[in-house]
Amino acid sequence: MVKKLVLAYSFLVGLPLLVVLGTLQAGRRLAGPPAISGDWTVNDPAAWSICAKTAAATPALFSISQSGADLEIALNDRDRTIIAGRLEGSRFSTRGSSAESIVRMEGNVAGSRGRRSLVGWVSFSGGAPCGLTLVRAQ
């Protein structure tokens, strides 16, 4: 009777414990995408004003919502344009539209945690892409 109890205990407790430990070991090298949610501003407002004139929009603030690798960026323009995209590794790619234009944004996450910036380009309605560097809003 005791042998059966020990065998049952080993099977019902030991086997699930081995599965959990194996899963933890297998996921040890996994890393989530960099956290970029929050408010961001343009590093060079003069360059942004030239780019934004082509779209008749002047957002000075970008609000980024992030869930895992999925992004949603709200521009601070009069249409409250929202563009959606993905973050793969340190590269992001987004696309969306407003009443007046199609907005596309691509780039890379640069820097380490607490000192990150977003470096890339943005284009409005198929116009020439403008270089863009975003930094955390203070």
pLDDT of 70 reads: 95
Please answer whether residues 132 and 123 qualify as being in contact, where contact means their C-beta atoms are separated by less than 8 angstroms. no
pLDDT of 65 reads: 95
Tell which CATH classification among 2.60.40, 2.40.128, 1.10.10, 1.10.3470 matches the domain 38-136. Answer: 2.40.128
For 17, the 3-state DSSP assignment is helix
Helix and strand numbers (H, E) in the chain are: 3, 8
Name the residue ranges covered by the structural domains of the chain. Answer: 1-30, 38-136
pLDDT in tens, 34-83: 999 999 988 877 777 767 655 545 556 889 999 999 999 988 877 778 89
* Rounded-to-integer distance, Cα 107 and Cα 62, Å: 14
Is 0.85 surpassed by the pTM of this model? no
Mean pLDDT value of segment 10-36:
89
